[in-house]
Amino acid sequence: MNDMTTELEFDKEVSTLKANGTCLQGRIRTTFDALEKAFGEPIYPKSGDGKVICEWVLEFNDGAVATIYCWKVQEVPMGEYEWHIGGHSEKVVEYVKHFLIHNK
């Protein structure tokens, strides 16, 4: 992959609004600790349906928005888990994977 954008914006109020309309683009098997180390502390949204209880909302320098979240679970998975990656396009899956691999 050519020059991958790896700087993220973590303004959660702005980024959370930008996550509106995102949908599942892919998945990544990893741990909560690995995600927290790479992307910082997650947010714990109070969704009306309770389907998402923990997520990261990321905006890359090119404007692409990604969400990483656990889907339909009762508590936040701490061990290996297949986390969902949402966005407006599939490129965010590669962005998330690239950034996670390079920030172990």
61-73 tens-digit pLDDT: 888 999 999 999 9
Q: What pLDDT score was predicted for residue 17?
A: 81
In a domain, 2, yes or no: no
The overall average pLDDT reported for the chain is 85
Between residues 45 and 59, which one has the greater pLDDT?
59
Q: What pLDDT score was predicted for residue 3?
A: 52
Which residue range(s) make up the domain with 32? 8-101
Tell me how many domains the chain contains: 1
Q: What pLDDT score was predicted for residue 46?
A: 77
Entry pTM: 0.85
In a domain, 3, yes or no: no
CATH number at residue 92: 3.30.310
Q: What pLDDT score was predicted for residue 96?
A: 93
Compute, in degrees rounded to 10, the torsion defined by CA atoms 84, 54, 15, 89. 10
73-101 tens-digit pLDDT: 999 999 999 999 999 999 999 999 988 88
Per DSSP, the three-state class of 4 is coil
Q: Which H or E run contains 104?
A: none
